[in-house]
Each structure stands twice: as structure tokens, then as C-alpha cells.
Amino acid sequence: MTDTLTGPRADLTGLTVEQKAALTSGESFWRTKAVGDIPSVMLTDGPHGLRKQREGGDHLGIGDSVPATCFPPAVALGSSWDAELAERIGTALGVESSIEDVAVILGPGINIKRSPLCGRNFEYLSEDPIVSGVLGAGIVRGIQSQGVGASLKHFAANNQEDDRMRSSSDVDPRPLREIYLRGFQRVVEDAQPHTVMCSYNRINGVFASENCWLLTDVLRGEWGFDGLVVSDWGAVSDRVAALRAGLDLEMPGNGGQSDAEVVAALAEGRLDEALLDASAQRNADLAVRWAATPRVEGPLDVDAHHELAREAAARSIVLLKNDGAEPLLPLAADRSLAVIGAFAEKPRYQGAGSSMIHPTRLDDALTAIRAVAPDAVYAAGFSLAADAPEDETARLRDEAVEAAAAADVAVVFAGLPARLESEGYDREDIDLPADQLALIDAVVAANPRTVVVLSNGAVVALPFAERVPAIVEAWLLGQAGGSATADVLFGAVNPSGKLTETIPLRLEDTPAFLNFPGEEGHVRYGEGLFVGYRWYDARRMAVAFPFGHGLSYTSFSYGDATAAVTGSGDVEVRVTVTNTGDRAGREIVQVYTSLADSSVQRPVRELKGFASVELAAGESREVVITVRRSDLAYWDIRAERWVVEGGEYTVEVGASSRDLRSRTTVSVDGDELRLPLTRESSLGEVMAHPVAGPMVRSALAGMAQMMEGASAIMPEGVSMEKMMNSFPIGRVGMMAGGQVTTEMIDGLLAAANAQQG
């Protein structure tokens, strides 16, 4: 791997162990320590905007922050499926960080959306690791193009807020590698973030901050990570164990208490000084390189960044539904409109917790709509207060119904109040508030020409989906979301966003329903590989809207796809896409693969690549998507490595996991996998072995005759050979009447393994 942390390196010659220990923990809530010639640097919150605390703020670092651009949170940005856009936003984050003298911005967050109940899902990109990895790498590249470090988080298997600082995520090796680590691996190998932030939780019983396998063996040894590992704030339980495991920087500062623990461990021989030296060097290098990096000169171009936020928000909106011979959307400016719902006037544009941004400005949808349709009537429809009196609720609903009945079209802004989703706790259900559901029902009864616009940081159930002709999933869109929503509603922007998470019909249908949030400090990832669409598609389960779904104001057709293996071993997929509508639009083309008769359990299909194409009305273009050979690999638990299984892969190309437009196949050569044979190897495995099979067949010829005799007394159609396939070869002696001894078997296995090696 290349070293992306370019620039001068720090000289630690002459530093005492006390000084080196000091380099590996914070000075304060946001800053590292200055030691000798090594300067202090600031790390501060992201990930969708800079949350830098004002000077003189509270010591906990949760007070007011300087104004910054609030870009669309990851829940929205993921739906853009646009790595180039993600990189541009990352660049803007890097610019704002550099102007504010911030060395590391804490983001992006790319944890998998295992359950829709996770209170922090608004900070994460997808239920799929390929989407998370590709977009996450784009964000990191953008941030670091400005000399600012990114901090990839939360590493790893941090998929809930409940008991997040103690709970153990108990995950089997295959899903851990193929689902929960794969996105992190993609970002590390493609973009080399300057830092990786360890999560609070345990992983299979071991704190992430103390997990040598995770932080050293996998992150550094396998993936080639060359930056530093920083703790989430307060994630370190045992500083010495964490340092030994590969954690380089404990945050926030604790007055030097844990530094003293490190020094004591060195004196007592419980810690290798070379480990401290390595961590101190990484921290010092980051500091001196940041000191040598030219800063972006301010002031910030607030208008330009706001326009980027608006563009990103519009591209992130998902048109879920737009039914009818004459669809309601886009809205006509000359139609009378009733704008209903408190979120139209008081936008819900970001989540609560450490990522809350103090925006440079804030657009609301009502103002933006009235800029196009000045006569639009507004009714709040519901109160944002948690304990609104029943008479007030009824009055607001009645006012909304009256406004809807008098209008050509009603647009209802519904969603989740901030109190229902936040860092620190999980949601209890996936329902919209009851007063909002009652409002939607009443408005639709008064005016069937109703559009519902959603503001939410995680998916919600949509019991009204069959009755409402148009639904817009507007997520949390950042500070320019109000204008962006109006852009899409009136057709100034043709919607192109697609879901990066499945919208289920019921919470009970979700993969982790019976294993969330766990109990007694453990959460069992019992759904295994079957996360998100992998679960629903494997069970052929009805959903409200599938992974990858999203409509446009135009339409697209797909030609016949082709797939071929390239010289590098990747699979190149080609398909011609045509805009068959009457306006320009953007389509996200998705590639899914599967392997029939695989030797291991696999999902029905898995996303392996995607690309977007912008087409004028009537235009056709060939789209080329490269599926990396490494992304076809599964994690072999016997060999403990990635293995590409050979065979005829089915390649499906389409507009969602359930809207597959073209299918082809491609033959992929498999990796050679030679596992040593042991006494516990089954007869079937031994017989199928290219080296051992012929040797053992010859040696066991007498036993084969015995098996033929036994077959003669078995019922017709029952295969003795099949019955014996799973029998451990080390135990065949008991079936062979003394003809085969343990010594003979050991000799055969040794010879076979020697010849194989």
C-alpha cells in the first residue's frame, strides 16, 4: 500500500517514555498534546458538516459550534449512489475544516444498517457494504484532498445505540467479513484514511479498543492501513490493553491519568516499549504533517457550499411512488396547492447527537414552494410537541382537511420528530406518530390528489402507501433541503435517488427482529449474511419498497447485458440504457450476481457494482460497470481467507433488487483452495480430493466391496455411498472389519497431504 500520509515525519529522538505516552492521549476534549517540537492538533466532529466548538465553550465539547454547511446526512447522500458527488462534498468538508484549523474531521460513518431501529442510522449510508464502501471512499478522498484527515468510523460491528458502550456484537466469521467489515476494507484499501475510529462495543466479547485481531491483524496486517487508530470519545476501558492491541490515540484527554498507567506498565514489563514508540510516532507524524500543510484561505464561500448542499439534497431524494394515468408529480405551478405539515415550515434536516451542525443558513420547503406557487395555502396539520393536547391536535387536523379539500393538490410533510431518533438510544418502532398517520388518512379522504413528503433519518412503515398516489422519501436533507424538495416537487430537478435500504411492511419482517437489541450485554447477529435485501429476497418476502428502488419523471429501458472476465480477473458488465421518456434524467444501473450450486450458503443475489448515467430524452448510451474479482469472494472459514469460487455466475442488471431488466452469465475461474486432510475429513471430501481421492479409493477397495454388500440389503433407492459421504475417514476402521487400520489411514492422509503440498 502507498503511504498517503505524505510530508515530514516527526523525530522522537530524546523523548522520555512519559513524553511518548503523552502523545498517545488527548490534552482536552478536542485537542492532542503538544510535546517538545510536536504541536497540538484539533480533531472535531463531522460527518456531514464541521461541528467545531466555539472558543470558550463547555469542557465537555457539546456546546454551541461555529457556523458550517450542513450537507445532507449519510441517510440521504447514500440514496444518491454518487461517488463523485460524495467526493465533492468531502472536498467541501475538507475546505471548511482547513479554514477552521481542524486537522481531522470525524467521519464518514459507514456502519451497516442492520436494523431500522438503530438510533444513529441517519449517519450511515446503506444496508449494503459495496454502496457504503464506494461512497465512503469518495468522501475520504475529498476530505483528504485538502490536507485534512478523515476518520473512518465506527470500527466495527457498531449497529445499535442500546448499551453501545458495553454490548458485545456476537457475529460469525462470514457475516463479519462479508457484511460488516467489507465496506471498511474497501475504504481503507481505496482511500487510506488518515485515521480510523474504533467503536465503543465489544466484538465477540472483546472491546473494539482492545481488539488486537481487529486493529492490528486485520486493519494493518491484511488491509495495509498506515494511519493511526483513534478511540471513539470515551471508548477506552483499559488503556494499556488498548495500546497493546493497536489503538494509537485515546480521546478525550483525562488529565494524564491513563498516561501514567502506560508508564507504569512499561516499568513493570507488562508493555513492550516498541508498541508505544510506534503509536507515538503515528500521532507525532500526523501533527507535524498537519503543521506543514498549507491552510485553505478563508473566508468560506458560504453561497457556493450552500448550492452544493442543495444539489446534493435534490439528488438524494427518492421518488417512491407517482401513480396514475396523469401522475401528480411534478406539480404544476398554476395548480392550487395546500401545503400541510409542520415540517414544511420547520424543517427536520439533521439528526441529534454529536453530528448536529450549526448551519450557515436554513431553507424551508414552504418558503421555497411559495417562491414558485405564491398562492399555496399552509396548514400545520400537527404539533411537533410531544404532549400536544387532544383539542389542539383535532383543531390542527381540521384546519388541514379544510385546506386540502379546497385545493387541487395537497402536499403533506410528515416524518419523525427529532426526539424519536438520536445518537445514544434506539427507536422503539418504525411507525410515524399516530397524529400524523391520522392526518394523512383525513387529508386523503378530503382530497385523493395527495402527495406525502417524508422527513426521517431511518425508514418508516408506510401503511398509507396503497392509498396515496405519490410519495417522496426526502430523508434528512441538510440545510438546503427545503429548496431541494421544491426543486423536485416542481420538476426543476428530475428525481434520481434510489433506496440504499429496504423499506419493510412491518418491523416484525426485518432480519434482526428477534435479535435486537440483545440481552445481558450480548446481541446475537443471528440473521448471519442475510441483512437487508438479502433477507427479504431470500425469503421472497413482500416489502413496501425494495432496495435500489427509485422512480423518475422519465422512464428507462435496458438492452441485453453482456459480461466478460478481463485480463485482471474482474468482470466487465455492459448494458445499453435508453431514456424512453420526454425529459432528461439520470438512471442508477445496478449489477447483482449469484452462483447456483455454490458449495457455501449465499444470498439469492448480491449487489456487486453500480453506475449512474445521465441521458437526454430519447438518448441511448452503453454503461460499463466493473465488478471486482475480490468482491465475488466469500470468506472461507476453514482456510480463514477470501476465496473466489469458480463456476457460472448469473449477472443480473436492473433498477432495483426486484426490478431486474437483463440477465446473463459469465464463467469465472476459482481460486485454488487446498485444505489439509485430517481424520475428521469426511469420506466425501476425501474422495473428491484430486490427490487423495484416487489414493484412498485404491486403498479402500476392500471396504468398497463391503459397502456394495451392505447396499444389497438396503431398501431400493437408498444409496449406501451417500449415507457414508459424511462419515469421518478416521472412523472407517469400525466399518471395515479390521481391513483398514488407523495407521493405514494416517499414512494415506500424510502421503496425500505431502503430495498436495
Residues identified as active-site: 232
DSSP state of 26: B
- Helix or strand run (H / E) with residue 612: strand 606-615
Give the number of other CB atoms < 10 A from CB of residue 293: 16
Q: What are phi and psi of 579, to 5 degrees?
A: -80, 105
- d(Cα 368, Cα 480) in Å, to the nearest integer? 10
**What does the DSSP 8-state code read for residue 217?**
I
> Cell match 432495483: residue?
656
Q: Between 742-756 and 692-699, two packed helices, what is the crossing angle to 10 degrees?
A: 160
DSSP state of 517: S
Q: Is 688 exposed, middle or buried (0-12, 13-18, 19+ CB in 10 A)?
A: exposed
Span between the terminal Cα atoms of the chain, in Å: 30
Contact (CB, 8 A) for 653 and 573: yes
Sort strands 149-155 and 195-198 into parallel, antiparallel or unpaired: parallel
Cα dihedral value 444, 445, 448, 450, nearest 10: -20
Which residues lie across from 611 on neighbouring strands? 589
Q: Which three cell numbers stand for residue 99?
A: 479554514
Q: Are 82 and 72 in contact (CB under 8 A)?
A: no
DSSP bridge pairs for 414:
454
CA distance linking residue 720 with residue 718, whole number of Å:
6
Here the cell at position 43 is 480533531
Whose CA is closest to 159, among 112, 109, 200, 202?
112
Q: If you count them, how many residues does the chain have?
A: 757
Q: Are 670 and 639 in contact (CB under 8 A)?
A: no
Q: What cell was used for 528?
A: 448471519
Question: Smallest Cα–Cα separation from 638: which of 665, 603, 673, 612?
Answer: 673
Supply the DSSP symbol for 736: T
Q: Cα separation of 672 and 546, whole Å?
A: 36
Contact predicate 493/472, CB 8 Å: no
Beta strands in 461-531 (DSSP E): 470-473, 522-524
- Give per-residue burial for 210-245: e unless 16+ CB within 10 Å, then b: bbeebbbebbbeebebbbbbbbbbebbeebbbbbbb
Residue among 405, 586, 626 at smallest CA distance from 498 = 586
Cell 447456483, residue located = 596
Q: For residues 558 and 656, what is the distance between their CA atoms, to the nearest angstrom?
A: 13
Distance in angstroms (rounded) separating the CA atoms of residues 523 and 166: 11
CA distance 276 to 737: 62
| Burial class of residue 728 in the structure, from the number of CB atoms within 10 Å of its CB (0-12 exposed, 13-18 middle, 19+ buried) | middle
ω into residue 47 within 30 of 0, thus cis?
yes
Q: Are the C-beta atoms of 46 and 106 separated by less than 8 Å?
A: yes
Which string of b and e fits 30-43 if b means at least 16 CB within 10 Å?
Answer: bbbbebeebbbbbb
CA-to-CA distance for 701 and 713, rounded, in angstroms?
20
Q: From the CB of residue 708, how many other CB atoms can be counted at a distance below 10 Å?
A: 11
DSSP secondary structure code for residue 12 in this structure? -
